[in-house]
Amino acid sequence: MSGPEKSAAVPSSRLARLARLGSLASGVAGGMLAEGVRQWSRGNRPSVGDLLLTPGNAQRVADQLSRLRGAAMKVGQLLSMDAGDLMPPELAAILSRLRADAQPMPMSQLVPVLETAWGAGWDSQFERFSFTPLAAASIGQVHAAQLKGGERLAIKVQYPGVRQSIASDVDNVATLLRLSGLLPRTLDFAPLLEEAKRQLHDEADYLKEAAYLESYRGRLAAEGDFALPAVHAGLTTPDILAMTFMDGVPIESLAGAPQAERDRVLGLLFELLFREIFEFRCVQTDPNFANYRYDEGSGRLVLLDFGATRHFSERCIAAYRRLLWAGQVGDLDTLSAAAIDIGYFQVDIDPAHKRQVLDIFLTACEPLRHEGPYDFGASTLAVRIRDVGLRLGRDRSFWHTPPADALFLHRKIGGLYLLAARLKARVDIRAIFLRCLEAVPAGAAGE
């Protein structure tokens, strides 16, 4: 999350949120009609995608969903980041606008939320409380504060009505996307939508996030490379997460750091990812760059935001272990068998489609096969993966929803690839992978 510019009240009742989506649908339809008239008057025969993807409609969708926050905005973010390459470019372009920050709620809405959680006179325990948020995102916003005793805190406050609106928001957004005609009616999105609801309920439970944060602190506290905030239990509720304030600069600012430091930092992040998969069997799946900061004084990586943390079953991790190993050695048969175990392929998948998916896996595993440091800055890896994905996405007979665990894990891996490319890091991914694989024998990972 990054600093907001202006505030807007969050519609907290179901009726208000439904009305917001209703006005969005009618606005988009009206925009399509007007654009259609313009195009026909010029002798053009536009497609539905051409009519939908107008600057006005893109702005309508992004603005209205960002004002709803919560599940409506989160679904747009998840679809744009996780399935964007397998969706029509028209839909992906509109949804990608939701990667931008939400508008924060105004002070008039924030104060009642704090009073409900902490009671009247809550401010008496604070020396300072900044009502201007440091950051705003889809589910909550963060404020800086200082207790009477001098301790600096970061206070994450959830938007009102978010938890109660998750199921209806997800269903309403899914209906809106169906009505747009950009998603084929044959595509079964139901399992992914149900999983999105479950994941969003987890993210909206700040007590659960606090438990994940403390778990990661326990695992990493003894290692001098990472710094994590401590939970202030007395001020933490299901709707408010209070943590020690962590200093640091945005991780993207390392773009100007020496090559060796950029390489070290990304090496730490990739090693942490492999440990999460093989050792923890628990992965913080949100790849947002704002979840990482860099402490210039100590050189430590600051890890923030554990709301999107997921446990993975032993069976799933075993299959990914085989898949990554097969990708590292180029074993296509084992790669295919592992992909089937994970659930990538339908029983009746076309052999040509199957081979294209396996090619994506092989391409994504390129850093695992590379001897020595892999130069992400000079690599075209992301572009090549995107191009193959787009070719599949244009063929609607292929469309198939992968398991939610796979989408969330790919989201994290893809995010690290993007960060490594942004910082032009050179990392010996193969050596890190093999070291982590050997450190945790198959079946030995714990919860």
Tell me if 290 sits within 8 A of 250, measured CB to CB: yes
Tell me, yes or no, whether 398 lies in a domain: yes
Tell me, yes or no, whether 7 lies in a domain: no
Long-range contacts (CB closer than 8 Å, 24 or more residues apart) made by 208-216: 209/241, 209/305, 209/306, 209/307, 209/309, 210/236, 210/241, 212/282, 212/284, 212/306, 212/307, 212/309, 213/243, 213/306, 215/282, 216/284, 216/303, 216/306
What number of helices (H) and strands (E) belong to the chain?
Answer: 17, 13
Tell me, yes or no, whether 147 lies in a domain: no
pLDDT in tens, 410-423: 888 888 998 999 99
Q: Identify which of 103, 98, 43 has the alpha carbon closest to the alpha carbon of residue 74.
A: 98
Residues 310 and 437 in one domain: yes
Residues 308 and 433 in one domain: yes
Tell me, yes or no, whether 356 lies in a domain: yes
Confidence class for position 95, pLDDT limits 50, 70, 90: low
**Tokens at residue 99, please?**
């990667």
At 71 the pLDDT is: 57
Residues 173 and 288 in one domain: no
Residues 274-301 have a mean pLDDT of 92
Q: What are phi and psi of 241, to 5 degrees?
A: -115, 115
**Of 152, 179, 206, which one is at a domain's C-terminal end?**
179
Residues 175 and 254 in one domain: no
Tell me, yes or no, whether 319 lies in a domain: yes
370: Cβ contacts below 8 Å, ≥ 6 apart: 429, 430
Helix 404-422 with 259-275: angle, nearest 10 deg? 170
pLDDT in tens, 175-184: 666 655 555 5
Residues 173 and 264 in one domain: no
Please tell me whether residue 344 adopts helix, strand or coil conformation: coil
Please tell me whether residue 442 adopts helix, strand or coil conformation: coil
* Domain encompassing residue 258: 250-441
Residues 263 and 174 in one domain: no
**Tokens at residue 169, please?**
């928001």
Tell me if 337 sits within 8 A of 319, measured CB to CB: no
Residues 174 and 288 in one domain: no
| β-bridge mates for residue 244, sequence order | 153
pLDDT at 6 over 80: no
pLDDT at 391 over 80: no
Residues 425 and 288 in one domain: yes
Confidence class for position 58, pLDDT limits 50, 70, 90: low
Tell me, yes or no, whether 195 lies in a domain: no
pLDDT in tens, 116-131: 999 999 999 999 999 9
**Of 159, 179, 199, which one is at a domain's C-terminal end?**
179
The torsion of the CA quartet 350, 354, 357, 359, rounded to 10 degrees, works out to -130
Domain count, the chain: 2
**Of 149, 179, 209, which one is at a domain's C-terminal end?**
179
Neighbours of 190 (CB within 10 A): 10
Residues 270 and 412 in one domain: yes
pLDDT at 341 over 70: yes
Confidence class for position 258, pLDDT limits 50, 70, 90: very high
At 164 the pLDDT is: 80
pLDDT in tens, 358-387: 888 888 899 999 999 999 999 988 777 766
Tell me, yes or no, whether 239 lies in a domain: no
Residues 172 and 67 in one domain: yes
Confidence class for position 25, pLDDT limits 50, 70, 90: very low
CA distance 416 to 376: 10
pLDDT in tens, 303-327: 999 988 999 999 999 999 999 999 9
CA distance 154 to 3: 14
What would the DSSP string read from start to end of 360-417?
HHHHHTHHHH-SS-EETTT--HHHHHHHHHHHHHT-TTT-----HHHHHHHHHHHHHH
Catalytic (active-site) positions = 286
Tell me, yes or no, whether 91 lies in a domain: yes
